C-alpha cells in the first residue's frame, strides 16, 4: 500500500430533477480524522452518511466538506396577506378622524410586517429523496478523488523521505569514519590536555587526572548512538516501503532520530564530528517536517 498525504482537494458536480449541486472537499494535517460539513438547510441527513464514508476511506486529517445546492425554477412567490392588510386599513380609517395625519401610502402599507409574505415553492418529496441520493453518490466521487490526490502526494513524500534517510545513513557513515571519534584519538587528546595541566602546576594528581580522562573518553564515545541511528534508518525505510497510515510511527521515529543526533552533538569533542552531527540534525528536522504531512 502506498503512502498517503493528509493534504488534498477535490470537487464533484451532480444534478437530479430540478436540483443541481456541487461538493468541495479539502483536507489538511491533523492528529486524527475530523470531517467538518457545511450543508444547506434541509440536507442535514447527509451528515451521517458522509462521516461514515469518510471514515472508511481516510485515517487522518481534517476534511472540510461543503455542499452547495441550487434548485431550478425555484422562484419565490410574493403574496399579500389580505387579512393583515384589511386590519391595517381598518385601524388607519379609525385613526383618520381622531388625528391629523397623512393617509397611508401603498409603499407604507407594504412595509408593515406581515402584509407581504414571501412564499417558497413547494418541494416534491420524491424529487428531494432522489436528489439527496444523487448528492450522496457525488460525495463518494469527490471522496475518491480526494483519496487519489492524497495518495499521489504520498508517493512524492515517500521519495523525499527515502532521500532524507539516505542522507542520514551517509552522514552516519561519515561520523563513523571520523578519526576524531575513535576512542584512542579521544584518549590521546585528553592525555595531551592532562600533560599540559601537569606542566602548568604540580598540584594535580596525575593518576586521578588519567582516570578522569579515561572516563571522559568513554562518555564521548558515540558507538551506541550510531548503532541506534542505523536501526532507526532501517525501520523508517521499512515503514515507507510498507505504506498505509504510518505517519504517527514515522513521527515517533523522527523524535528518536532527533534524540540520538542531539546526543552525538553533546558528546562530540571533535570539530569534524560536531559539524557532521549538526548536518545530520538538520536532515532529521527536514525528515520530521515532511512526516507531519503523512496520514
Predicted local distance difference test score (pLDDT) of residue 272:
86
Q: Hunting for cell 468541495 — which residue is that?
A: 24
What are the φ/ψ torsions at residue 102 (nearest 5 degrees)?
Answer: -70, 140
Residues facing 71 on adjacent strands: 19
**257-263 mean pLDDT:** 93
- Determine the Cα–Cα distance for residues 179 and 186; give it in Å rounded to an integer: 9
**77 Cβ neighbours under 8 A, 6+ residues apart:** 118, 119, 121
Q: Please indicate, yes or no, whether the overall pTM of this predicted structure exceeds 0.85.
A: no
**Residue 115 pLDDT level (bands cut at 50, 70, 90):** confident
Is the CATH number of domain 152-291 1.25.40.10?
no
Q: Contact at 8 Å (CB) between 70 and 18?
A: no
Predicted local distance difference test score (pLDDT) of residue 201:
64
**Residue 178 pLDDT level (bands cut at 50, 70, 90):** confident
Predicted local distance difference test score (pLDDT) of residue 220:
64
* DSSP strand pairing (77-80 vs 116-119): antiparallel
**Residue 264 pLDDT level (bands cut at 50, 70, 90):** confident
- Determine the Cα–Cα distance for residues 230 and 165; give it in Å rounded to an integer: 10
pLDDT > 90 fraction of the chain, expressed in percent and rounded: 55
- Determine the Cα–Cα distance for residues 266 and 259; give it in Å rounded to an integer: 11
The pLDDT mean for the chain works out to 85
**162-189 mean pLDDT:** 81
**Residue 209 pLDDT level (bands cut at 50, 70, 90):** low
**145-156 mean pLDDT:** 95
Predicted local distance difference test score (pLDDT) of residue 119:
59
Q: Hunting for cell 585528553 — which residue is that?
A: 190
Length of the chain, in residues:
295
Nine-digit cell string for 111: 412595509
DSSP H/E element including 51: helix 46-57
CATH classification of 8-73+123-149, choosing from 3.40.50.2000, 3.40.50.12780, 1.10.287.10, 3.30.230.10?
3.30.230.10
Predicted local distance difference test score (pLDDT) of residue 218:
57
Nine-digit cell string for 70: 441550487
**170-179 mean pLDDT:** 87
Of 80, 77, 99, which Cα lies nearest the Cα of 88? 80
Nine-digit cell string for 51: 462521516
Lowest mean pLDDT among 10-14, 144-148, 164-168, 260-264: 260-264
- Determine the Cα–Cα distance for residues 295 and 276; give it in Å rounded to an integer: 31
Indicate the DSSP class of residue 25: E
Locate the domains of the chain by residue range.
Answer: 8-73+123-149, 77-119, 152-291
pLDDT in tens, 215-249: 555 566 788 899 999 999 999 999 999 998 999 99
Q: Contact at 8 Å (CB) between 21 and 135?
A: yes
3-state helix, strand, coil in the chain (%, to 5): 60, 15, 20
**48-71 mean pLDDT:** 95
**204-224 mean pLDDT:** 63
Q: Is 114 exposed, middle or buried (0-12, 13-18, 19+ CB in 10 A)?
A: exposed
For the cut 60, the answer to whether the pLDDT of residue 213 exceeds it is no
Residues facing 37 on adjacent strands: 65
Amino acid at each position: 500500500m502506498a503512502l498517503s498525504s493528509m493534504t488534498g482537494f477535490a470537487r464533484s458536480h451532480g444534478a437530479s430533477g430540478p436540483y443541481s449541486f456541487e461538493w468541495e472537499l479539502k483536507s489538511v494535517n491533523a492528529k486524527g480524522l475530523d470531517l467538518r460539513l457545511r450543508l444547506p438547510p434541509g440536507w442535514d441527513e447527509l451528515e451521517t452518511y458522509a462521516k461514515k464514508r469518510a471514515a472508511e476511506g481516510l485515517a487522518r486529517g481534517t476534511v472540510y466538506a461543503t455542499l452547495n445546492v441550487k434548485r431550478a425554477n425555484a422562484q419565490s412567490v410574493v403574496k399579500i396577506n389580505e387579512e393583515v392588510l384589511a386590519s391595517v386599513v381598518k385601524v388607519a380609517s379609525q385613526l383618520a378622524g381622531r388625528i391629523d395625519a397623512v393617509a397611508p401610502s401603498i409603499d407604507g402599507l407594504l412595509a408593515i410586517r406581515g402584509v407581504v409574505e414571501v412564499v417558497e415553492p413547494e418541494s416534491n418529496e420524491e424529487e428531494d429523496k432522489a436528489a439527496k441520493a444523487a448528492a450522496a453518490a457525488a460525495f463518494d466521487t469527490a471522496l475518491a478523488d480526494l483519496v487519489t490526490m492524497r495518495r499521489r502526494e504520498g508517493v512524492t513524500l515517500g521519495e523525499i523521505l527515502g532521500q532524507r534517510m539516505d542522507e542520514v545513513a551517509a552522514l552516519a557513515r561519515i561520523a563513523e569514519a571520523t578519526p576524531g571519534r575513535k576512542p584512542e584519538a579521544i584518549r590521546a587528546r585528553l592525555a595531551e590536555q592532562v600533560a599540559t595541566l601537569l606542566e602548568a602546576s604540580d598540584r594535580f594528581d596525575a593518576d586521578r587526572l588519567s582516570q578522569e580522562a579515561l572516563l571522559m573518553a568513554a562518555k564521548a564515545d558515540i558507538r551506541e548512538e550510531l548503532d541506534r541511528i542505523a536501526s532507526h534508518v532501517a525501520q523508517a525505510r521499512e515503514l515507507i516501503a510498507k505504506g498505509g497510515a504510518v505517519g504517527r510511527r514515522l513521527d515517533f521515529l523522527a523524535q528518536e532520530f532527533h534524540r540520538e543526533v542531539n546526543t552525538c552533538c553533546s558528546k562530540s569533542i571533535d570539530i569534524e564530528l560536531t559539524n557532521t552531527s549538526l548536518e545530520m540534525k538538520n536532515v532529521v528536522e527536514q525528515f520530521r517536517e515532511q512526516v507531519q504531512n503523512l496520514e
